Structure 1
Amino acid sequence: MSRSARPGTREEILDAASRLFAATGFKGTSLQDIASAVGCSKAALLYHFDGKDAILGELLAPAVEAFRDLDARLAALGDEAVRSAAVEGYVDLVLRFRREVTVLYGDIPELLQRPAFAGVHELIERLKDALAGRSRTPQAHAAALLVLGGVPIACMEQLDLRDDELRALLAGSAVRALDLPGA
């Protein structure tokens, strides 16, 4: 039994949802928004998917499977080879699934629009500029984003390090990532 009311509708829904989730976040996108972007009714959309969570699940499934594949490859490696393989594999994974990663992180811009965070976006942009050494090169920009994204995630994890040890580790890693001379 074909679940498609017209050829490509399911794929069109996934594509539209992916674009909308990446642009306005999962929370900020309604089923009606997706249906309108596809040019179908909400009922037609619900014919193909049980809801927004089902769409998200299907969108993220290939990325999750690729992450599992990477995990299996890394598990088979010895201590000497695992770090470089993890770096290369993870970077490749994120590059391959950029839109899906954007969806996962997508609600951050919406949160920054709330009154409690007035002006924070501009502060982040200025910090990113400073981390890039005020360089306009894409390389400096990418390194600054790496530091902006990585430091908070490292701080959220409960590590068996004192704050001064973690600070030294993060600052040193950030300097290396930014490739700042003399630091």
Structure 2
Amino acid sequence: MIRRTPRTHGEILAAAARRFAVTGYKGTSLQDIAREVGCSKAAVLYHFAGKEALLAELMAGPISVLCELDERISALTGAAAQRVAAEGFVDLAVRFRGEIALLRGEFPELLAQPAFAHIQRISERLIEAMTGPDGGQDARVAALVLLAGIAEGCGAFADIPDEELRPALLAVAQRVLVTAAPPPPRPTLDHQHQD
């Protein structure tokens, strides 16, 4: 009989994180994880229903914070929504850069899995908050590239301390979002004069 212990559970989770970081989620099998822990595949399945369950537990922290961010921006509009969305996503990406790095290059495929379907909807709302209700295609593209770039940047710049990376990412976000924002309407001049 396999004993379910917190130590074994944690070891399997840590091994999964290491394997995902090296060979990617798609390139890692349950057998690879079991081999790294020194247990059987059945032992891994005793602790986790499958590879998706492992990933869901590894991503539980970032997903929880992302859901909280979604709640915060749902009550905001305009510049306030844009600011909170950008700052909140930068904070999340910096705080959980290790977890996000596990998924580099595999986000679209992973978002298609049922356990992560709500993340796609939250991403859409983040983009909408960053572009505003009148944001056109250019603003939407800029917001999407910004989100992807922030996530990628946090993994790529692992050697930069959080206290330096966060302001750098926020500065980039501000420049991108200001550039992508539609210009304010120009006042019209009434050239008709009455004599």
The TM-score normalised by the length of structure 2 is: 0.51
Deviations 1:64-93 (A, max 9, x none): 121010111122234232222211110111
Q: Determine the C-alpha separation between the residues in 1 that align with 2:84 and 2:61.
A: 20
Q: How many residues align?
A: 120
- The reply to whether residue 35 of structure 1 matches residue 34 of structure 2 is yes
Deviations 1:102-135 (A, max 9, x none): 2222449xxxxxxxxxxxxxxxxxxxxxxxxxxx
1:47-86 aligned at under 5 Å gives the runs 47-86=46-85
Q: Determine the C-alpha separation between the residues in 2 that align with 1:7 and 1:67.
A: 26
Report the CA distance between 1:9 and its aligned residue: 0.9
What is the identity percentage for the equivalent residue pairs of Structure 1 and Structure 2?
48
Q: 1:11 to 1:106 in 2, by over 3 A?
A: farther
| Runs of 5+ unmatched residues, structure 2 | 108-134, 150-170, 176-195
Q: Determine the C-alpha separation between the residues in 2 that align with 1:106 and 1:4.
A: 36
**Alignment-derived partner of residue 103 in structure 2:** 104
CA RMSD of superposed structures (Å): 3.3
Report the CA distance between 1:5 and its aligned residue: 3.1
**Secondary structure of the corresponding residue to residue 22 of structure 1:** helix
AA aligned opposite 1:69: E
Note if contact 1:21-1:106 (Cα within 8 Å) is conserved in structure 2: no
Deviations 1:15-71 (A, max 9, x none): 111121122101111111111222222111111112111111222222212101011
**Which of these two proteins has the greater Rg computed from alpha carbons?**
2
The TM-score normalised by the length of structure 1 is: 0.54
Note if contact 1:31-1:42 (Cα within 8 Å) is conserved in structure 2: yes
| Runs of 5+ unmatched residues, structure 1 | 109-158
**Secondary structure of the corresponding residue to residue 8 of structure 1:** helix
**Secondary structure of the corresponding residue to residue 56 of structure 2:** helix
Deviations 1:121-154 (A, max 9, x none): xxxxxxxxxxxxxxxxxxxxxxxxxxxxxxxxxx
Q: 1:25 to 1:41 in 2, by over 3 A?
A: same
